[in-house]
Amino acid sequence: MGTFLIANKVLLPEMLVFLMSLLTLMAGVFLPTRMRESSALVFAQTALWGAIALAFWGMLAGTVTLFSGTVVVDHLAFTLKVLSYVTASGVCFYAHAYLKAMKMPVLEFYVLTLLSVLGLSALLSANHFITLFVGLELMSMPLYAMIALRRHRSDCLEAALKYFVIGAMATGILLYGIALLYGATHTLGFPDVANAIPVAMHGHHLLMSFALVFITIGIAFKLGIVPCHMWLPDVYEGAPTIMTMMVATLAKIAALGMLLRLLVSVMPALFAEWQPLLMVLVVLSLFVGNVTAVKQANLKRLLAYSSIAQLSYLLLGVFTGTTAGYSAAMFYLATYVLTTLAAFALIMCFRREDGEEAVDIADYAGLFQHHPWHAVMFAIVMFSLAGMPPFVGFIAKLQIFQALLQTGPFWLVIYALLLTVVAAYYYIAVVKVMFFDESQTPLRKVSLGLGNGLLTLNALGVVMLGVQPSGLLTWLSL
């Protein structure tokens, strides 16, 4: 009975999210039409903020393992879960006015978002490969479908299909890696596998390396880092901006969660194998991401390539193999998510004359003259992504570099610093266009409804956390 109560208490956030997604679905059927959309937003926000509160309450019980070790709630799961609930709540606020303007089905959006968050939180709590896989799929499948929700636009459908095919293939590769690991260890629970790996290393060294490579490639596809990044710019560009926001935030939280869980908790014995693997990925991603971003004329594509570069800093934190590095990666993820939310929300604010979304950098010429506050917010976001001092992006990069300096290699620090300079160039180029170029045709600003206030808060948050990061840093440290 005691275990049952603890089980209930710890899993209450997930239960609430699941329940509210069903309620939202029912709201679509039984409520009068005019109340549907706002009540769906209320349900979604209740679910997410209720889940945050319940997660904090459940965490009082400490680390708990449930259902014969298929589910675990520890500090890693707890912090990333809270981060994903907050992110999803922000996405829902930003989405409300946008969905109506883009003629996307509103209720389905909230239902699928809640289910996706449910999958994400199961994935983060996974202590068994089966839970991990099912959570991963429950998180990704709503994303495939939601990109296609703007179903009369062929570019959105194309983005959805590309994301789907790549996602399905990545799942296949990841699963084959897990199958190979299972072949060597004959067990699927994380602690058991971690214990069995050193033993299995003797007879099946090649097999283990294969499993590791397949699993890492599977995660690399989900993260979208080089050499598994070809789909990413197309999906970012073609998807409705609200969905780009979700792919750029929620999916990355999942990928880091998986990376920390699998490489750090399950395969610490293979550290000597996975460290060089990560190094190759980081070196390639830093270069390709930053150098390709320079040439981009489309703001969403630029952010796509910049995300490849940003995530490679995050990988750099995991690469160090120290607790300081992992904590730095967690902090980097939190700040990246916060900044990315603001960046895409700002893009959602502006339309061209013909009603299309303003996605080209040239569209934003002279933004400062017409919409000074939005131009300033854009500048804050870009400076933070570039890692300039007063903003939170600087602290995040500082943490990563501090951790990396402890372990080396030194040339990697220099290499990453050099490419940070390249990155600063294209971020500042965008800001320059906004502040100093002459505008051709002024952009039309649309209201985000409740999202307007949140956007201001979000941009100020980027500054405030840059000035006062210590609270978040302590909370996120592993």
Partner 1 sequence: MIGLAHYLVLSSMLFVISFIGIVINRRHLIVMLMCVEMMLLAVNMHFVAVSQYFHDISGQIFVFFILAVAAAESAIGLAILVLLYRCRQTIDVESIDQLKG
Partner 2 sequence: MIDVQTLTFFAFSGLLLLSAGGVVFSRHAVSSVMFLILCFLCSTVLWLMLHAEFLGLALLFVYVGAVMTLFLFVVMMLNVKIDATKARLLKYFPFVLVLGGGLVTMLWLALGPDAFSIKKTGVLAFSEHYNNTRAIGEVMYTQFVIPLELTAGILLVAMVAAIALTFRGSQQRRVQDTPKQLMASKANNLRIVSMASEHEGGE
Q: Which residues between 71 and 90 bind partner 2 (CB under 8 A)?
A: 71
Choose the one of partner 1, partner 2, none that binds residue 169, judging by a C-beta under 5 to 8 angstroms depending on kind: partner 1
Q: Which is nearer to partner 1, 172 or 276 (CB)?
A: 172
Residues near 212 by beta carbon (within 8 Å), at least 6 away in sequence: 177, 267, 270, 273, 274, 277
Q: Which is nearer to partner 1, 146 or 365 (CB)?
A: 146
> What's the min distance (Å) between Cβ of 95 and partner 1?
20
Residue 12 is a binding residue for partner 2 (CB under 8 A): no
Exposed, middle or buried: residue 370 (CB in 10 Å: 0-12, 13-18, 19+)?
Answer: middle
Choose the one of partner 2, partner 1, none that binds residue 204, judging by a C-beta under 5 to 8 angstroms depending on kind: partner 2
Choose the one of partner 2, partner 1, none that binds residue 466, judging by a C-beta under 5 to 8 angstroms depending on kind: none
- Rounded Cα–Cα distance for residues 123 and 182 (Å): 19
- Rounded Cα–Cα distance for residues 204 and 212 (Å): 12
Choose the one of partner 1, partner 2, none that binds residue 206, judging by a C-beta under 5 to 8 angstroms depending on kind: partner 2
Q: Which is nearer to partner 1, 176 or 415 (CB)?
A: 176
- Rounded Cα–Cα distance for residues 458 and 90 (Å): 9
Number of other CB atoms surrounding residue 148 within 10 Å: 19
Q: Which is nearer to partner 1, 171 or 322 (CB)?
A: 171
- Residue that has been written with the tokens 């994935």 in this structure: 123
> What's the min distance (Å) between Cβ of 115 and partner 2?
5
Q: Which is nearer to partner 1, 184 or 443 (CB)?
A: 184
Are 361 and 433 contacting, i.e. CB atoms less than 8 angstroms apart? yes
CA gyration radius, the chain:
22
Residue from the set 206, 410, 470, 471 that interacts with partner 2 by CB under 8 A: 206
Give the distance, in angstroms, between the CA of residue 73 and the centroid of all CA atoms in the same chain.
Answer: 20
> What's the min distance (Å) between Cβ of 310 and partner 1?
20
- The piece of 202-210, 217-225, 321-329, 372-380 that touches partner 2 (CB under 8 A) is 202-210
> What's the min distance (Å) between Cβ of 70 and partner 2?
6
- Rounded Cα–Cα distance for residues 266 and 127 (Å): 10
> What's the min distance (Å) between Cβ of 207 and partner 2?
4
- The piece of 134-142, 219-227, 244-252, 331-339 that touches partner 2 (CB under 8 A) is 134-142
- Residue that has been written with the tokens 């505008």 in this structure: 439
- Rounded Cα–Cα distance for residues 22 and 35 (Å): 17
- Rounded Cα–Cα distance for residues 72 and 63 (Å): 7
Residue 210 is a binding residue for partner 2 (CB under 8 A): yes
Cα dihedral 49, 51, 53, 56 sign: negative
Residue 203 is a binding residue for partner 2 (CB under 8 A): yes
Interacting residue ranges for partner 1, rule: CB under 8 A:
129-130, 133-134, 137, 141, 144-145, 148, 151-155, 157-162, 164-165, 168-169, 171-173, 175-176, 179-180, 182-183, 186-189, 230-231, 233-234, 237-238
Q: Measured at the alpha carbon of residue 228, what is the angle toward residues 392 and 132, in degrees to the nearest 5?
A: 75
Q: Which is nearer to partner 2, 132 or 430 (CB)?
A: 132
Tell me the H-state helices in 239-298.
Answer: 241-259, 271-294
Q: Which is nearer to partner 1, 189 or 466 (CB)?
A: 189
Q: Which is nearer to partner 2, 206 or 272 (CB)?
A: 206
Q: Which is nearer to partner 2, 116 or 339 (CB)?
A: 116
Choose among 222, 422, 412, 420: nearest CA to 317: 412
- Residue that has been written with the tokens 């550290």 in this structure: 271
Choose among 132, 264, 122: nearest CA to 189: 132
Q: Which residues between 100 and 119 bind partner 2 (CB under 8 A)?
A: 105, 108, 111-112, 115, 118-119
**C-alpha distance from residue 203 to each of 196, 286, 402 (Å):** 12, 36, 38
Residue 122 is a binding residue for partner 2 (CB under 8 A): yes
> What's the min distance (Å) between Cβ of 466 and partner 2?
38
> What's the min distance (Å) between Cβ of 206 and partner 2?
4
Residue from the set 12, 18, 102, 390 that interacts with partner 2 by CB under 8 A: 18
Choose the one of partner 1, partner 2, none that binds residue 149, judging by a C-beta under 5 to 8 angstroms depending on kind: partner 2
Peptide bond into 198 cis (omega under 30): no
Number of other CB atoms surrounding residue 26 within 10 Å: 12
Applying CB under 8 A, the site for partner 2 has a residue count of 36
Number of other CB atoms surrounding residue 235 within 10 Å: 26
Helices 323-348 and 241-259: angle between axes, nearest 10 degrees: 170
Contact characters 307-346, partner 2, x per CB under 8 A: ----------------------------------------
- Rounded Cα–Cα distance for residues 90 and 93 (Å): 5
- Residues near partner 2 (CB under 8 A) are 18, 25, 66-68, 70-71, 105, 108, 111-112, 115, 118-119, 122, 128, 130-131, 134-135, 137-138, 141-142, 144-145, 148-149, 151, 180, 183, 203-204, 206-207, 210
